[in-house]
Structure 1
Amino acid sequence: MKSTVEQLTPTRVRINVEVPFTELQPDFERTYKQLAKQVRMPGFRPGKAPAKLIEARFGRAAVLEQVVNEALPSRYSEAVTSSDLKPLGQPEIEVTKIDDGDHITFTAEVDVRPEIALPDLEQLKISVDPIEVGDEEVDAELDALRARFGTLTGVDRPAASGDFVSIDLDATVDGEVVEGAATEGLSHEVGSGQLIDGLDDAIVGLSAGESKSFTTKLAAGPQAGKDAEVTVKVQSVKERELPEADDEFAQLASEFDTIGELRENLVEQVSRTKRIQQAEKVREATLEALVGQVEMPLPEAVVQAHVDNALHNALHGLDHDENKFAESLQEKGSSRAEFDTETRSEAEKSVKTQLLLDALGDKLEIQVGQNDLTQHLVLMSRQYGIAPQQLMQFLQQNNQLPAVFADVRRGMALAAAVRAAAVSDTAGNEIDVTEFFGREDAADEAVDAAVDAVEEAVEAEATSDE
């Protein structure tokens, strides 16, 4: 097989391939066997009819067509591998010549990853805000813990934010009752914002037995998006009394003997949360720095695919009604032109990021092991609330494992970039990134421990399913 590559643009190539018939002999034999199974010929067992009779029955042109159609994918892959190309998406293949008995030629146009000049990772300087844990944040954590052990007491006064009320609700649209909207004795925490927009404002100031009507926009149901007249009636008002923050409470709510020890633990919890948040900012800042230092042409077809997918997702919830979409954008203070501009900008950034991290993964020779993939799948399964085996089955059935594999590799490439960069906070303090991004020379026992934890989680999930 011979192949040559024409560079059409920095991100698109045409591969010209010539395959001699001598290389297609296995393909012909396989095609003859497949066609032979479709017919019964006197004197021959099923599937054993000779090639000449098969061609006489189906026609030489039909045989050639099937051979070519089945041979092209593997020959295309072979040409890509020999040319060291990195294709993006599916190729557009055209058979340009069939010289029966001699050779076939075809072309394949496909988008490819452009040449990318990567920055020196050791020259990256990343700066993020320092971690500061204030007393008010610890107090908020302590109050949240006290609230879990609080008691509700009925009060004879108007409802205020933070109170718990029992309410009745009903709603109408254009004077007609909204089915399913009426309810009685519903418990609600005033100020939580968990029910209907405008409800908390209406409840504040109402005493037991009082009601109030207000207008709001329905968020769900057959009449979603329409203005509704909602009436709320307060049946009872209760306030939450919190236990005293003392040693007795510490012993009740935790494994600590004193309130001082409990507060120290809460300080560590808040600090841990902030370290996680800081690590995410480091990751984002590193990615932003990489993207900002790299220039590359983008494959238009790939960018357009991202744009089309975003538009499809936006329209899907509106029954693909363009008028409803325009109204929705207008309500948000936007327009279709602004949506298109923002969507394209996001698509270009997404494509650029993926191509950059893929190239970085190649340069650093990032290898995704089974353990890396397993850890990622376990985390995904917990996020979606399903067993790892179910998630794996779903991904395999929908051919999504390659995309997950690519995401894992990109994450590993970015983690390597973070480890190579000089990371500090704005106060000039160096930040140790190994807690969340690992060490380049991580000890084998640390890796083994992480793998064992993942395997134990998988086994636990399997046992629970049984």
Structure 2
Amino acid sequence: MKSAVESLSPTRAKLTVEVPFDELKPSLDKAYKTIAQQINVPGFRRGKVPPAVIDRQVGRGAVLDQAINEALPKVYVEALRENSLEPLAQPEIEVTRLEDKELLEFTAEVDIKPEIELPDYDGLEAKVEDLTVTDEDVEEQLGNLRERFGTLADVERPAADGDFVSIDLVATKDGEVVPGAEVAGMSYQVGRGGMLDGLDEALTGLSAGESAEFTSQLVGGDLVGEDVAVKVTVNGVQEQELPELDDDFAQTASEFDTVEELREDVRTRLTRGKRLEQATEARDAVLEALLEKVSVPLPETMVTDELNARREGVEQQLAMAGITMEKYLEDEGQTIEEFEADLERRVRDAVAAQFLLDEIAKREELGVEQNDLSQHIVRRAQQSGQDPQEFANHMFEHNHIPELVQEILRGKALATLVESAVVTDASGNHVELKNLRPDGSIGEPEAEAEAAEAEPESAEAEPEAAEAEQADADK
């Protein structure tokens, strides 16, 4: 076999491969045996039809096609190895020359990993925000805790912000009730938001037995995004009564005897959380500093595919949350053009970072141990809410283990970058980074142990933390 490579661009190559017919003989023999099992020829047992008879009955061309299809994948992989090319996608293969009993020639165009000249990445400099926990932060957390232990009492007055109301609600379009848009006896906290635009304003000032009508847009169903008429009726109003923030409350709501001990524990937990946020910010800032030092050619097909996947992911998340893209952009203060530009920038940075981290992993001769893979599988399973064993079985059955290994290697390369980096906060203080796991993700053993032992209510109170961890996994 002879092969030559032509560079079409820094990220695309064209292989031209010549295969002598002698090297196709095993595939030809296999093709004849396969076809012999598939045809019936008078005078011959199935599977014992001679090649010459098959050529007459089926045609030599059909045999050659089957032999070439069987041989091409192996020959293509060998040509990649011979020319030290790392493909990023399936190739576009074309048979350009076929001389029976003499020669097979084909070309293969494929996106490849670009050659990157790594810059000096030892001692990268990055800045992060100061780690601050204010008294207001502590009091806010204590207020949330008091709300968890609060009680509700009926009141004979109009509903106000923060009150809980029992409501009946119905949405109509052109006088007809919208299917699925009618509820009765639902409990709702005024001012909470997240249900229908205009609902909080309509409820404020209503007493039990009173109704209000307003126009809004549904966030789900067949009429999502369309204006509908909404009527809401208040059945009852309840006021939340919060317990006093004193030693008795501390003993009821925690393992502490005094409110000062509780307050100090809240501050410690907030500080730990801020430290993890700072470590995540530092990791991202170090990677950004590396990206600024080198220009990485990117395969446009790969960028487009990743853009489409991320855009679809955003749309699915918004649909699950019952939010339209228009509403999301309005809340974010973005135009669709700004959203698309920001998404493309982040995708291009992510793809470039993958290539850089792959090269660093090679240079540093990083490896993956069985324990690394086991821990990574468990963490990925937890992030997706799956049983670790079921997740592992799925990964093995669908041959995704190489992808997980590559994720671990990239994480280790990122950890190598961060460990040697010089990171300071906005005040100029050196930031110690002790929260990186070996795979480059952020974690703190003590915090994770506490989270594992936490009550269900505590876990449910921190959905944003779970979303942030999933975002870390996607990088």
Task: Place the TM-score, normalised by the shorter chain, in its bin.
Answer: 0.7 to 0.9
Alpha-carbon displacement from aligned partner over 1:91-147 (angstroms, at most 9, x marks no partner) = 111111122222211111112222212222223111111211112211222222222
The 5 A counterparts of 1:357-436 are 357-395=357-395, 400-436=400-436
8 A contact 2:410–2:439 mirrored in 1: no
Deviation at 1:40, TM superposition (A): 3.4
Alpha-carbon displacement from aligned partner over 1:279-300 (angstroms, at most 9, x marks no partner) = 2211221221121211132223
Deviation at 1:373, TM superposition (A): 3.2
Aligned to 1:261: 261
Aligned to 1:368, the other structure's residue is in SS state: coil
Is the alpha carbon distance of 1:47 and 1:258 closer, same or farther for their aligned partners in structure 2, counting shifts above 3 Å?
A: farther
Is the alpha carbon distance of 1:154 and 1:384 closer, same or farther for their aligned partners in structure 2, counting shifts above 3 Å?
A: same
Range moving further from structure 2, 335-344 or 166-175? 335-344
Deviation at 1:223, TM superposition (A): 1.0
Matched, 1:20 2:20: yes
CA distance in 2, matches of 1:128, 1:253: 35
Is the alpha carbon distance of 1:431 and 1:303 closer, same or farther for their aligned partners in structure 2, counting shifts above 3 Å?
A: same
AA paired with 1:411?
G
Aligned to 2:224: 224
8 A contact 1:419–1:437 mirrored in 2: no
Deviation at 1:379, TM superposition (A): 2.5
Aligned to 1:147: 147
8 A contact 1:418–1:437 mirrored in 2: no
8 A contact 1:419–1:439 mirrored in 2: no
Aligned to 2:205: 205
AA paired with 1:409?
L
The 5 A counterparts of 1:46-61 are 46-61=46-61
CA distance in 2, matches of 1:383, 1:260: 35
Deviation at 1:365, TM superposition (A): 2.5
Matched, 1:296 2:285: no
Alpha-carbon displacement from aligned partner over 1:253-298 (angstroms, at most 9, x marks no partner) = 2222222222222112111211121122112212211212111322
Q: Which runs of 5+ in 2 are unaligned?
A: 319-323, 453-475
The 5 A counterparts of 1:29-178 are 29-42=29-42, 44-178=44-178
8 A contact 2:415–2:439 mirrored in 1: no
AA paired with 2:412?
M
Alpha-carbon displacement from aligned partner over 1:20-73 (angstroms, at most 9, x marks no partner) = 222222212222222122123456543343333333332211111111111111
Alpha-carbon displacement from aligned partner over 1:363-417 (angstroms, at most 9, x marks no partner) = 2233233433333332232233222333345455666554444333323322221
AA paired with 1:21?
F
8 A contact 2:37–2:46 mirrored in 1: yes
Is the alpha carbon distance of 1:433 and 1:346 closer, same or farther for their aligned partners in structure 2, counting shifts above 3 Å?
A: closer
CA distance in 2, matches of 1:254, 1:147: 14
Aligned to 1:293, the other structure's residue is in SS state: coil
Identity %: 47
Is the alpha carbon distance of 1:133 and 1:119 closer, same or farther for their aligned partners in structure 2, counting shifts above 3 Å?
A: same
AA paired with 1:254?
S
Is the alpha carbon distance of 1:35 and 1:317 closer, same or farther for their aligned partners in structure 2, counting shifts above 3 Å?
A: farther
Instruction: Indicate the RMSD between aligned Cα atoms, in angstroms.
Output: 3.3
AA paired with 2:258?
T
Alpha-carbon displacement from aligned partner over 1:227-277 (angstroms, at most 9, x marks no partner) = 111111111111221222222222222222222222222112111211121
CA distance in 2, matches of 1:375, 1:260: 38
TM-score by length of 1: 0.84
Alpha-carbon displacement from aligned partner over 1:200-251 (angstroms, at most 9, x marks no partner) = 1221222222221121111111111111111111111112212222222222
Range moving further from structure 2, 148-157 or 427-436? 427-436
AA paired with 1:224?
V
Aligned to 1:249: 249
Q: Which runs of 5+ in 1 are unaligned?
A: 319-323, 441-445, 454-466
CA distance in 2, matches of 1:138, 1:314: 33
Deviation at 1:329, TM superposition (A): 8.6
CA distance in 2, matches of 1:134, 1:339: 33
Is the alpha carbon distance of 1:178 and 1:274 closer, same or farther for their aligned partners in structure 2, counting shifts above 3 Å?
A: same
Aligned to 1:435, the other structure's residue is in SS state: coil
